[in-house]
Amino acid sequence: MHILFVADPLESFKIYKDTSFSMMRELQKRGHALSACEVTDIAWRQGQPVNAGVRDIVLTGDPRHWFDAGATGLDRRRAALRDFDAIVMRKDPPFDTEFFYATHMLEQAEREGARVFNKPRALRDHPEKLAILEFAQFIGPTLVTRNAQDVRRFHAEHRDVILKPLDGMGGTGIFRVREDGMNLGAIIETLNRDGAQSLMVQKYLPEIVQGDKRVLLIGGKPVPFSLARIPQGSEVRGNLAVGGKGVAQPLSKRDREIGEALGPVLAARGLLLVGVDVIGDYVTEINVTSPTCFQEIHDQAGFDVPAMFVDALEAALAD
């Protein structure tokens, strides 16, 4: 098969930990051909199928020059998206207007016969902060609002809270406000832009010291190990992007309960790969754009997450 990855620039990959790279490596090992493009390369013209400037690549095994683009190099060839056996959408957040437009272009490609994973409509329908609202039985006390007084009342009730923007990634823009309410007003103003923008407030979960666990769902089934991202020093955030330490560990009974409840529902909507963030016993986010942690789990626990993903992709294409 020939697989196209829609991703960030290949030159930006940190291959020692990059999940998209681990997928590519497993696909090539099984004999599949690889191409890559960026969302900026996708175009449509009336009377023609959705197409992109793509780079046909081969992985070299050399960490310094990890791919060879052959004749296409930096000069991409134009190719119709429907001509690939599968398109793996791996563009990293933020989910901005260009990402939104890209999902519409990919959905048009689907109408022309392309197979896209994760499904573009499902990407739009599951914003990563707000997707948890559907599964309220698994979340802790949470408020979504743009009203400053609502936030103050929530803080007065729960005393120790986390505030976050709805469009953040990698732990950016996350604040903790303790019982003294220090800087609560300034934080609200920063996040809600004087009432113009909604934000999320959640009760602080002290279990964060044991890690913000990434539970991966592939083809509707939970990977048997999570990656607990543990905050370091005085940091409240466990995100790897801000220095959290990743520790692979077997799923707890609650982790598995969450995974087995959410997995089939989300898979049925075209979400082949999902990353559920769990603190203690509670879901805090549902990540669908480009979930990570494949290599960390594989390296530490020995479980071959890339192989599980490619198995699921091959099975989906066989349907």
DSSP at 237? -
- The answer to whether 201 and 163 have CB atoms below 8 angstroms apart is yes
29 catalytic residue (yes or no):
no
**Per the residue annotation, which of 90, 91, 203, 214 is the catalytic one?**
214
269 catalytic residue (yes or no):
no
Q: Which amino acid is at 61?
A: G
How many whole angstroms separate alpha carbon 191 and alpha carbon 174? 9
**Per the residue annotation, which of 55, 118, 287, 296 is the catalytic one?**
287
**Per the residue annotation, which of 25, 164, 203, 213 is the catalytic one?**
164
What dihedral angle (degrees, nearest 10) is formed by the CA atoms of 210, 206, 238, 93? 130
**Per the residue annotation, which of 18, 237, 255, 296 is the catalytic one?**
237
239 catalytic residue (yes or no):
no
How many whole angstroms separate alpha carbon 212 and alpha carbon 209? 8
**Per the residue annotation, which of 192, 229, 255, 296 is the catalytic one?**
229
Rounded alpha-carbon distances, angstroms, from residue 246 to 169, 212, 300 = 17, 9, 10
68 catalytic residue (yes or no):
no
Structure tokens given for 276? 């559920």
38 catalytic residue (yes or no):
no
Structure tokens given for 210? 């044991």
164 catalytic residue (yes or no):
yes
285 catalytic residue (yes or no):
yes
- The answer to whether 73 and 58 have CB atoms below 8 angstroms apart is no
42: Cα separation from own chain's centroid: 21
**Per the residue annotation, which of 26, 110, 255, 277 is the catalytic one?**
277
For 231, residues 6+ apart whose C-beta sits below 8 A from its C-beta are 208, 209, 212, 237, 238, 244
What's phi and psi for 301, nearest 5 deg?
A: -105, -15
129 catalytic residue (yes or no):
yes
**Per the residue annotation, which of 25, 115, 129, 213 is the catalytic one?**
129
Strands 142-145 and 199-203: antiparallel
**Per the residue annotation, which of 110, 212, 255, 285 is the catalytic one?**
285
Handedness of CA 103, 104, 107, 108 (dihedral sign): negative
So which residues are the catalytic ones? 129, 164, 214, 229, 237, 277, 285, 287
